[in-house]
Chains A and B, each alone.
Chain A
């Protein structure tokens, strides 16, 4: 019998995973901080486009099931990454707020492939009014107990609002490209980005600017205090092999979670959570 569209998507073997580096920019030098795993639907179908794939999934109210399939596909792909590369994954708030089994699934799935949970950052995405906030925050707390970091995606748009900022208390705020576009020419957008950066810093979180589209805007976000940048002009989402060819992914000290002996360490207040603080080497990636 022919599989339905949703059944096909729920088969993780039909999904492919691309990785887009998130860079730390400092004094004109870019260093890969982490990679975002981006899932694409079955090849040869329109669902290979992420916007169509996830729009369909939301219309089917199948976020939790598809998030799990995506995580399986991502874990399989991550096994080919160097063990010290941090990985961001997208999970719907609805999945975290409604599916009580997600954390256990997450843990088992990673464990089966010998992947450490501490290397993952869960990017919370939401396009619909949020579910049960108390369950969402409880699930986030469970993830944090496993060493997972939290990012709030698309900050400033849709459901990634002030309430979500408080409920999720993310380590990372990912500013949507809408606010970063033409930053060099638009003082109103600059004001919005500046206020979000100030807010994030006050809440001891780091800021990631997404979809920066020009060198001018890149300079602006850096001047405004944005910590990290994810942009096609720096590197688009690519299959792992292509990232390796470009030299963005390799077993390199810049990915090392702890610096080698003798390096100067610096405490990063924004990444102190639950009594665990991260020491990082000066001159290396702040958030590795």
Chain B
């Protein structure tokens, strides 16, 4: 059965590009553009990997809330943070929340695919 991946980003173009690339790689991919949508999907669907930006919406660092939700619910999911923001304190906070990999935007899709494969145990 295909491993399920959730992409959380408010940039529709990026979501679609990642979705298409990972779907071609054999993954079942869902996308969420906002925190509440991601929380609902995570509640009901057993994802293997979540790929999230840290800055969701123009108002808040919603990605940290996604990480908090995953931690509080003790969800058995691996997390890749994909973000343009490289602030050390943010990275430290995210790492403490159990992030498995960081990728700096703009990341190459091949790089993202490799990170997902590594976390799901898939062979390249």
A interface list, Cβ under 8 A from B: 2, 4-5, 46, 49, 51-52, 55-56, 59-60
Contact = CB atoms under 8 A, between A and B. Distances in A.
A56 B36 contact: yes
Contacts of A52: 40-41, 43-45
B36 A60 contact: yes
B117 interface: no
A59 B34 CA distance: 11
13 contacts: A2-B12, A4-B34, A5-B34, A5-B37, A46-B30, A52-B41, A52-B43, A52-B44, A55-B39, A55-B44, A59-B36, A59-B39, A59-B40
B100 interface: no
B44 A5 contact: no
Q: Which of B30, B40, B43 has the most CB of A within 10 A?
A: B40
Interface string B1-34: 0000000000010000000000000000010011
Contacts, number: 27
For the complex, would chain B's binding face be called helix, strand, loop or mixed by DSSP majority?
helix
B77 to A, nearest CB: 16
Contacts of A2: 12
B37 A56 contact: yes
Given A5-B33, A56-B37, A56-B40, 14 more contacts: A2-B12, A4-B33, A46-B30, A46-B41, A46-B45, A49-B44, A52-B40, A52-B41, A52-B44, A55-B40, A56-B36, A59-B36, A59-B40, A60-B36
Contacts of B30: 46
Contacts of A51: 44
B34 to A, nearest CB: 6
Contacts of A49: 44
Contacts of B37: 5, 56
A55 B43 contact: yes
A52 B41 CA distance: 6
Contacts of A4: 33-34
Q: Which of B12, B36, B45 has the most CB of A within 10 A?
A: B36
Contacts of A55: 39-40, 43-44
Nearest to A62: B36
A53 to B, nearest CB: 8
A39 B36 CA distance: 20
Interface string B73-115: 0000000000000000000000000000000000000000000
A59 B30 CA distance: 19
Contacts of A5: 33-34, 37
Nearest to B36: A59
A131 B33 CA distance: 30
Interface in B33-67: 33-34, 36-37, 39-41, 43-45
